[in-house]
Amino acid sequence: MTTDAPWLATLTEAGDRYKCSSRTLRRMIARDELTAYRVGPKLIRIDIREADRIFTATADDER
């Protein structure tokens, strides 16, 4: 059985994983390059699988 539910991570966890700051991730969210999920009034999470696709894209994918 497979599920398409997002695998959520904090901005700090994702920043550590991709060697970028949480501020960079927030800018990507603001530009609609990355989907964010609000969990409660202040907590923001991102789907790691979506971020993997963005951060591992090759130059050929962007053309």
Pairing verdict, β 8-10 and 43-47: antiparallel
- At residue 61, the pLDDT reads 56
pLDDT at residue 8 in the model: 93
- Give the per-residue pLDDT at 20: 94
Q: What is the residue type of 18?
A: Y
Q: What's the pLDDT at 35?
A: 93
27-42 residue pLDDT tens: 999 999 999 999 999 9
Flag residues of the chain having pLDDT under 70.
Answer: 1-3, 58-63
DSSP conformation class of 33: S
Q: Around 13, how many Cα atoms within 13 Å sit in the side-chain half-sphere?
A: 11
Q: How far apart are CA 60 and CA 58, in angstroms?
A: 5
**3-class SS at 30?**
helix
Q: What is the pLDDT of residue 57?
A: 74
For the chain, the structural domain boundaries read 8-58
